[in-house]
Structure formats: structure tokens, C-alpha cells
Chain A
């Protein structure tokens, strides 16, 4: 692979996660950008390239400006004539636009670039965006079966329990350990730490998943500024090196029926979550890192099932290893040898679909810099890994490290 020039993260910003009915999508993005610019001690006019996340929720709320989110955000910031792209890769959008910003600088075309995404979720279950019974597969699937996102997660979870012996207690403990962080992170929506009993007593949504074992949908926004590594010192004493920024897509013959589809054609030896396994393999390859090099992880804990499935995937471990790691305390988000979801994860913030990947990157940058306050992990991390998983077979992952 041709060697690009090195790229570092020099500024990060987040609008808090929550429900903000009176704030527009571009407004939230402006706040995230302003925080990222202040973090990098950078002027808006120093940004040379921009890529924005876009998702259909915002289009339902804000119409054309929701779809052309980059254009709308730039207008709110004040146009500076730079190239802007808007991108929709479902829940993997944050990671996908981070990769685009990285490539813009790594290629040598630009010295600075920003990835920005804001989302205003509709609340409750996802539903189709059209009423087209001929060509919108998502609509067809939904009206014929009523399959909700948690139903899909629950079906995968049920299968995992059958194949690997995951228990109800294991599922509940995911919420117990990730929610420990909830009161400690000013950017999260929820501030409550849960006991196992509280999780198991919460209403059953789709067996085996209880309400407290699935994530909410939230509003939120994030912005990440990247810069050529050899110029990063101008902006920060603690540049974070981007060792890998990748996107994964599925392999033909994947064993699962991804959300929005009605069928799969499983091929021997392919397995589930191929888009995620492909992205992780690419991230390790690009960085030259191995799973044992990773010190801190942000993963997409949309449900307790995701936590286990993604921990296995991200560590390229044998299926079922994740449950053992959780039981052993090794992945405690603060005290663990390998802290997982020190942000509090999706459980504590709720998913703001397109911005979620940037939330993860923000957290890992704060942890690597030692700026995470009360939720600072204790293992002095040097290398960090994040991954987001998206609707219909989208994925993005990145590996970051200290460059000082």
C-alpha cells in the first residue's frame, strides 16, 4: 500500500447528547465545530476541507437542509469557499466522514480538514422513510413483518445465547458496567448507574433484551479536526496520530439478514457481521497493529448483544471470548486492563445516528490526552480503537495513538 503522509487529530468538540427540540441540526453542529476549533486554537478560516454526516431523520425534520447537511452547516458557520461533501452511511457515518477528512489530508491535497455530523433523532423505533411498496425494500420488509431494530438485535442475541451460552446475567452486566460512567461524563444524556436487578426488572422489549439493555435515540453533534502531522504542533501539544481510518462493507454470503432486508443467502465459512470483520481486519492491516496492542476501546453498544459481538469482533477473538472478558473485570470502563466504553457508550448517551462515530473518537482523544477527568481510564493508554456499525451493512473503524 502506498504510504500517505501522517495525519493527526488536533481538535475535538461535542454538542451534548440528549433531546433538544428547539435547536436545529446546523445549530448543534456549529456548537460542536466551535468547541473543536477552540480545542485546536484554530480559526474557522484555517479549515481547508469539510465533510458532513447526513441522515434521513434530519430530512424528516428539516427537509432539504437535513439532506444537504454540509451545505447547511457551512452556511451557519459562514461560507469560506471550501470543498464540502455530505455523506450518508447510516450509523457508521461518523467513522466514514472521519475517514474522508483523514484522506483529504493524508493525500497531501489539504493541510487541515474537519468531519462534522449532527443528528436529531425522531425518538422511538426506527421506521421506513418512504411509502414505496415497489422499490423500497425497507418499507416492504417493515409493513410485511413489523421488524424493529431491537427485534433484529434480539434475534441475533437469542442465537448467540444458543450457540455460545451467553446468559441473561451477562446481558444485564453489560449495562451495569457501562452505566457506571453515566454520571461522570458531562456529554452523556443519562446520568444513572444501574444495578443488575434494575436492568433485569426493566420491561422486556424483545426477548431476551430488556429496555435497559438497548439504547435510546438522541440528538447530538460532533466535530473532529485533522491536520498534517508535521504541522500539528502549531495547534496542540498533544496531537493524536490517525493510524487507521477505514470503512467495511459486507461479503456476499453473510449469515445474517441485516436490517432493511428480508432474506440472506448464507455461504459456508462466511459468518455474521462481515462488514465489521472486514473493517477491523483493514484497520489492523493499515496500522500494523495487533489486538494485543490496543489499550482502550469504544464500541457500538446499541444493545447488550452488540457489546459482546463487537468485543469479539474488535479483538478478533474466538466467539464467546467477550463474555469471559466481561465476567473477569478486564474490560471495566475505568479500572480494567482494557477499558471498554469509557464514555458510557450508547447506553448512557443514546444514539445520535450519524454523529455517534465522532462521539467515540472524541472520547478516545480525551482519554489518550489524559483529559477525561473523573472517567479517565487508569491504564495510561497509548493506542485506541473505535468501531461503529450501521444499518443495512455499514461499518467504520479507526485506530488512534499518542504522538507526543
Chain B
């Protein structure tokens, strides 16, 4: 029995397949503004809206927890998370080394503390007969 193929629920948000997945963002070559998901133009109001000024970057996968909560109730479709019945899970805002604050599911609900160090990983939300569907997650170090 071979393991099912893991695929991102939505492609292009993080590097995959990869042993060390990273979020794919964009950075303005003029002012350094970072945006996730990647955007066509720099979000800084002082910057010209020129596509060529923006480059694609991979975010470092270390971050610090700015805040968090645990969702006790199942978010309705189109969100899907197994196993069923729904298990409460933590979600947080994480500050990366590039100065970006990113949202994401946390791999653990326990002993979460503002300021703690986290590492980006991936995790399965659900599966079908052929594939497992994954998203990025933040794991306490």
C-alpha cells in the first residue's frame, strides 16, 4: 500500500513538493514591501504600480506567534477538515523574519504563548480515494 499523493488544496501558495516548504510571497524591489499571497503590484501607496518592480520570494519558515485562538466549532463549507467529527484546532498570526504577519493553522492547541517561536510545515486537512489535501501550518518549536 503506497502512501497517497499529497497535494496543496490551492496550488502556488507554498513550494511543493518540498522537504522544507516555504510560503511564496512577493517583494517590491524599490521599497521592500512584502505581500502574501504574491501580488502583481507593490501595496505601498508611494510606489509606482509597475509589475516589473515586484519579485517573487520564498519566506523563511521561522516565525514568532503574535496572537492565536482555538476554533471550537466547525467552520462551514467550503472549509473541510478531517477527522470527523470536528476536532477543535488552533489558528494564529505569525511574524516572519521578512516583517510579514501571516495567518495560518497551528499544529497544536496546547501551551501556546504569544511570542513563541514557530516553524512552517504542512499538514493534511482532508483526503479522497487518491490524494491527501494539504495546507501550510505553523508548528511550535
Q: Interface size bucket, A side?
A: 35 or more
Q: Provide the residues of chain A in CB contact with B33, threshold 8 Å.
A: 265
Q: Interface size bucket, B side?
A: 35 or more
Q: Provide the residues of chain B in CB contact with A79, threshold 8 Å.
A: none
Residue B17 is within 8 A (CB to CB) of chain A in the complex = no
Contact A127 B77 (CB under 8 A): yes
- Of A141, A158, A209, which one neighbours B68 at CB under 8 angstroms? A158
Residue B36 is within 8 A (CB to CB) of chain A in the complex = yes
Q: How far is the CB of A143 from chain B (nearest CB, A)?
A: 5
Task: Kindly state the separation between the CA atoms of A207 and B69 in the bound complex, as whole angstroms.
Answer: 5
Contact A162 B75 (CB under 8 A): no
Contact B45 A145 (CB under 8 A): no
Contact A205 B43 (CB under 8 A): no
Contact B75 A257 (CB under 8 A): no
Given A145-B103, A257-B93, check contact A125 B69 (CB 8 Å).
Answer: no
Mark contacts of A137-166 with chain B using CB atoms, 8 A cut-off: 1 yes-contact digit, 0 otherwise.
101111111111001001111110010000
Residue B108 is within 8 A (CB to CB) of chain A in the complex = no
Task: Kindly state the separation between the CA atoms of A159 and B112 in the bound complex, as whole angstroms.
Answer: 13
Q: Provide the residues of chain A in CB contact with B71, threshold 8 Å.
A: 146, 148, 151, 205-206
Task: Kindly state the separation between the CA atoms of A263 and B38 in the bound complex, as whole angstroms.
Answer: 10
Q: How far is the CB of B88 from chain A (nearest CB, A)?
A: 9
Task: Kindly state the separation between the CA atoms of A127 and B76 in the bound complex, as whole angstroms.
Answer: 7
Contact A159 B72 (CB under 8 A): no
Given A159-B67, A252-B45, check contact A262 B36 (CB 8 Å).
Answer: yes
Contact B78 A262 (CB under 8 A): no
Besides A145-B103, A158-B69, A265-B34, 20 other A-B contacts (C-beta < 8 A)? A127-B75, A127-B77, A143-B78, A143-B79, A144-B136, A145-B91, A146-B81, A146-B91, A147-B103, A151-B91, A155-B67, A159-B66, A208-B69, A209-B69, A257-B102, A261-B103, A262-B103, A263-B102, A265-B99, A266-B101
Q: Which 6 A-B pairs have the closest CB atoms?
A: A154-B69, A159-B67, A146-B79, A146-B75, A263-B36, A264-B101
Point out residues on B near A: beta carbons under 8 Å: 9-10, 13, 25, 33-37, 43-45, 66-73, 75-81, 89, 91-93, 99-105, 114, 135-136
17 A-B pairs (CB sep. < 8 Å): A125-B73, A140-B10, A140-B13, A143-B79, A146-B105, A148-B73, A155-B69, A155-B93, A158-B114, A203-B72, A204-B72, A205-B72, A205-B73, A252-B43, A262-B36, A263-B100, A265-B43
